[in-house]
Amino acid sequence: NKTDEQLHIFFLPLMAQGHLIPAIDMAKLFSSRGLKSTIVTTSLFAPFLSKSLPTSDTQIDILTIKLPTAEVGLPEDVEGVHMAKTPDMQNKFFRSCGLLGPQIVDILEQRRRRRHRLPDCLVADMFFPWATDVAAKFGIPCILFHGTSYFALCAALCVFLHEPYKNVSSDSEPFMIPNFPDEIELTRSRVADFVKNDDGSVLATWYKESKKMEARNYGVLVNSFYELEPRYADHYTEVLGKKAWHIGPLFLYEKEAEQRACRGMETSINQHECLKWLDSKEGDSVVYVSFGSVANFADDQLMEIAAGLEASGQQFIWVVKKEKREGVVREEWLPEGFEERMEGRGLIIRGWAPQLMILEHEAVGGFVTHCGWNSTLESVCSGVPMVSWPVSAEQFYNEKLVTRVLRIGVEVGAKKWKRLVGDFVKREAVEKAVRNVMEGEEAEEMRSRAKRFAEMARRAVEEGGSSVSDLDALFEDLRSQRAARDSTKKN
C-alpha cells in the first residue's frame, strides 16, 4: 500500500511570503521525490498557495487554520505578517502565532481518531517554538526550518550564548562574534532588540523559546548549499553540535518559468513588458533595488533612495510598496519630476516584482537588498553582487556573510537594527554604494566571484550534488525514525 510507505511531512511556515515561498519549494521538491506534504497556513494565503502548486500535483495538501486575532486584539483580517504595519501590531501578530499550538494538536488528534497515519515529521518555522512539544506529544520528530544561512545560524547562536554586546560601553563600540570561524566585527546597534533587551516583551520571550526549540528539536533544515559556506556548515554541526541538512537553494529546483518569475503572487508589472525593458539594456548595466516583503521605509528614506539612484547615473529597477495615485501631481516620497526624468533609465515597480526573473536577466549587474536570506540567495545564484542594506531580523548577519566572507557585496552603511523602517541612510551613501557595485575593477571582481558561486549552486542541486545528497540523507533518516516508531508500536 503506497500511503503506508510514503513519507508524509507537515509544513508549518510563518504566514509571510519570505517563509511560505521556501515552504512551497520544499513541498514541491519533496513531492517530486515521492513524498506527501501538507502545508498549514491561514486562509489569506490559501489562494496564493493554490496558485503556486500545479493542479496535477496531488501529493501536496493545504490545510487552513485560523489565527487567533481576537484573543490578542488584532483586527481579524491581519492574517499575514506584512499586514502588521507597526511594531505594536507585529507584537500582537507574533503573540497570536504563539497560540496556534492547540489547533495543530486538534488536527493531529483527528487524524489519529480516524486512524489516518500521523505525519512522519513536523517542519516548523522558528516562530512556532510550541511545535517541539506538539510533535513530542505525538511521538514524531520536529525539524526546525529557519530560512536563513548557516552563517546567520552560527552567529545568532554564538551571540545568544556569549552575550558579547554586554561587554561594550556603547552601541557603536565594535566586538568580535565569539567562538566563530572568522574574525567578524559587530556592534550592539546591529544586534536585534529582542536579543539584547531582556525585557519580557513578546519578541524577547519568543526568541528565548525559539533558542530552546533549536536545542531540543530533531534537527534544522537549511536553505543553503555546502559550497557557499562550508566553514559555517561545519561549525554549526561539529562545534555547535546541531544536526542539520542543507538542501538549498530551494528555488533552483523550480523549473517552471512563470512560477520562477512571480513566486505565486500577481506581479504589479506585466512580465513581458519588464522583460522587454531589460532586453533593451546592455549586460550588467542595471541595478535592481528591492527590500523584500516586510520592510516598510518612510517617505523621507524613499526620497533619499530616489536622489541617490539619480545621482549614481546608473540604470535601475526599483520596487516600492506604494500604490500609484492617479491624478496626483507629486507623490511625497518622490522628488519632483523624477519619473519623467528617469524615463528609459529607471523603472519603478509599485507592489510585487518578478524578482527572480529580474535578477536572472543578464542586464542586471547589481542588487541593493535588505539581505533577507531568500533575496540574498537569489542574488548569489544569479551571479549578481550586492549593496547590503540590512533592516532587521537576522539581516545584519547575512550582510557580513556577503561582504566579509563571500566578498560579493558592499555595505551601504546601515548601522542600526530597526524593525520595519531600518536605519536612515543618506543619498550620498546610496549613490556611492551603487556606483561601487556597478562600476570599476572591484565590481568586476565581485561579479566574477558571484558567478562562481552561482555555478556551484547549480551543481549542488543536481543529482549527486551536495544538497541532493543531504536531501536523500534526510529522507533516509525519517524512514528509519518511522521504522523505529512502528516497531515500538508492535512490541
Q: Which residues bind ligand UDP (CB under 6 A)?
A: 17-18, 21, 263, 290, 292-294, 319, 352-353, 355-356, 372-375, 378
User: Using CB atoms within 10 A of its CB, is residue 47 exposed (0-12), middle (13-18) or buried (19+)?
Assistant: exposed
Secondary structure tally for the chain: helices H, strands E: 20, 15
What region does 203 belong to: left with phi over 0, alpha with psi -120 to 50, or beta? alpha
Please, what is the Cα angle at 12 between 10 and 13, to 5 degrees? 135
Smallest distance from the beta carbon of 142 to ligand UDP, in angstroms?
22
Smallest distance from the beta carbon of 210 to ligand UDP, in angstroms?
16
Contacts of 84 (CB under 8 A, 6+ apart): 74, 78, 90, 92, 93
Nearest residue to the partner ligand UDP, using Cβ: 18
Q: Are 130 and 100 in contact (CB under 8 A)?
A: yes
Q: What residue has cell string 554549526?
A: 236
Sign of CA dihedral 217, 218, 223, 229: positive
For ligand UDP, the closer CB: 59 or 355: 355
182 noted as active-site residue = no
**Buried (b) or exposed (e) across 138-174, using 16+ Cβ within 10 A?**
bebbbbbbbbbbbbbbbbbbbbeeeebbeeeeeeeee
For ligand UDP, the closer CB: 189 or 223: 223
For ligand UDP, the closer CB: 213 or 356: 356
Smallest distance from the beta carbon of 157 to ligand UDP, in angstroms?
20
For ligand UDP, the closer CB: 372 or 383: 372
d(CA 327, CA 342): 19
Smallest distance from the beta carbon of 21 to ligand UDP, in angstroms?
5
DSSP per position, 248-306: --GGGG---HHHHHHTTSPPSS-HHHHHHHHHTS-TT-EEEEE-TTT----HHHHHHHH
User: How many other CB atoms are found less than 10 A from the CB of residue 441?
Assistant: 7
For ligand UDP, the closer CB: 194 or 475: 194
171 noted as active-site residue = no
Which of 25, 120, 125, 423 is the catalytic position? 125
What region does 364 belong to: left with phi over 0, alpha with psi -120 to 50, or beta? beta
Smallest distance from the beta carbon of 255 to ligand UDP, in angstroms?
16
Which of 19, 82, 246, 370 is the catalytic position? 19
Q: What is the rounded radius of gyration, in angstroms, for the C-alpha atoms of the chain? A: 22
Shortest CA distance to 388 belongs to which of 370, 362, 406, 408?
A: 370
Smallest distance from the beta carbon of 372 to ligand UDP, in angstroms?
2
Please, what is the Cα angle at 350 between 22 and 77, to 5 degrees? 60
DSSP 317: E
Smallest distance from the beta carbon of 165 to ligand UDP, in angstroms?
23
d(CA 22, CA 29): 10
Smallest distance from the beta carbon of 377 to ligand UDP, in angstroms?
8
d(CA 42, CA 68): 10
Could you tell me where the DSSP H helices lie in 6-139?
17-32, 46-52, 87-97, 101-113, 131-137
Catalytic site residues? Answer: 19, 125
